[in-house]
Chains A and B, each alone.
Chain A
Amino acid sequence: MSTIDDLVSPEMRIQYLSKKKSETAECMISVQQREFKSSSHLGHKLKGNASSFGFEDLGILGDQLEVAANKMDLENSKSILLLINKYIEEAKI
């Protein structure tokens, strides 16, 4: 079953990415202070809805972020957050 929603407008996709970009930036600051809850939450949400907006790879990164954050793995969490940020910056709508 396809989960990508054709009905999601480009405006919604742009809005979605913009929100995730700022949440990613906040998580970058939190993990530096060894606070992993917000990263785990962001990862969980990305896993749950990124592909509905047509960003399947972002959903996969979200899954990885949730796992790393739940393990309080600082290095992995940081590198996945960087990948998420890069994905968002380069995403084509």
Chain B
Amino acid sequence: MYKVLLVDDDIETFNLIQEYNKKNNQNFEIDHLLSGKNLTDYLNNNQVALILMDWKLIDEDGLDLIKNLKVKEAYAHIPMILLTSKNSENDQIQGLDGGADDYITKPFSTKFLFSKINALLRKEDKDKNKEENIRHKFLFSEDNLEVEYKGESHKLTLKAYTILKTLVHNPLRVYSQDELNELTSGKDVHVSKRCIDTFVTMIRKKIGKDCIISVRKKGYKINDRFISQIALETPETTQPISSEF
């Protein structure tokens, strides 16, 4: 059973959601926190599938709570829906750009809310499967800095190995050059950004030129489409395909 956490200082919203959940056999376990004070403690002790966050809490800003969670590796993957009476276009842009995965304006219909919850959880499941599929295609050997991919072993330098392993283990995330620099050289070591480009080029030469994509002005990520396609290839499909396609 999925656990959904509502953070809202308003008990009535919880009652509404809980009532709908029970009457419609939605099969969620709904928990409720009246504030964000014990939020991280709660998340550390519970397996939460999704968070519903009120924006305007008493003495707290729900969007700030989302921002704080989204930068932490342990919670960033949890889908978070912002629930709020703020309904202007600017509010919605601010909410979504601030890290919310979806935005629902109050008053809302609980039927619609549950539709959104189910859709986000379906997407989360798909993403998890996709991530797992990609991770399983690489076999990393820390001792000799080798990576096995498509049955072939490739020897890498320590930095290239670290970059590839990081990207493969978080295949849906874009890493900036600064982040990759920090991972490979340490926090306070300033190296040329071209350094990362060089290692990425090295990885591309070994694994395949499209295995890592550059995301304009953001950084690098593993090319999940490329990796997934490779996995589906059979000897027949690797033959040249008619240009009609």
Chain A residues close to B by CB (< 8 Å): 1-5, 7-9, 12, 15-16, 19, 41, 44-45, 47-53, 59
Sampled A-B contacts (26; CB under 8 Å): A1-B109, A1-B112, A3-B109, A5-B16, A5-B111, A8-B19, A9-B19, A12-B16, A12-B19, A15-B15, A19-B12, A41-B58, A45-B10, A47-B106, A47-B107, A48-B10, A48-B13, A48-B84, A49-B10, A49-B12, A49-B106, A52-B107, A52-B108, A53-B12, A53-B16, A59-B107
Name the A residues within 8 Å of B56 (CB-CB).
44
- Interface residue count for B (Cβ, 8 Å)? 20
Name the A residues within 8 Å of B15 (CB-CB).
12, 15
Q: A12-B15, A49-B12 are in contact. List 19 more A-B contacts (CB 8 A).
A: A3-B108, A5-B109, A5-B111, A7-B20, A7-B24, A7-B110, A8-B19, A15-B15, A16-B12, A44-B56, A45-B10, A47-B85, A47-B106, A48-B84, A48-B106, A49-B10, A49-B13, A52-B16, A53-B16
Given A12-B19, A16-B12, A41-B58: A48 in contact with B107 (beta carbons within 8 A): yes
* Closest chain A residue, CB of each to CB of B20: A7
Is B23 at the interface (CB under 8 A from chain A)?
yes
Name the B residues within 8 Å of A53 (CB-CB).
12, 16
Given A9-B19, A19-B12, A44-B56: A50 in contact with B112 (beta carbons within 8 A): no
Q: Is there contact, CB below 8 Å, between B85 and A52?
A: no
Name the A residues within 8 Å of B58 (CB-CB).
41
Given A5-B16, A7-B20, A41-B58: A52 in contact with B110 (beta carbons within 8 A): yes
- Nearest 4 CB-CB pairs, A to B? A48-B106, A48-B85, A3-B107, A51-B107
Distance, CA A5 to CA B24, complexed state (A): 13
* Closest chain B residue, CB of each to CB of A56: B107
Name the B residues within 8 Å of A2 (CB-CB).
109
Given A12-B15, A44-B85: A49 in contact with B110 (beta carbons within 8 A): no
Distance, CA A7 to CA B127, complexed state (A): 33
A84 to chain B minimum Cβ distance, whole angstroms, is 15
Name the A residues within 8 Å of B108 (CB-CB).
3, 52
* Closest chain B residue, CB of each to CB of A3: B107
* Closest chain B residue, CB of each to CB of A47: B85
Question: Out of A5, A44, A48, A49, which one reaches B20, CB within 8 Å?
Answer: A5
Q: Mark B106-120, 1 if CB is under 8 A from A, else 0.
A: 111111100000000
Given A41-B58, A44-B56, A44-B85: A8 in contact with B16 (beta carbons within 8 A): yes
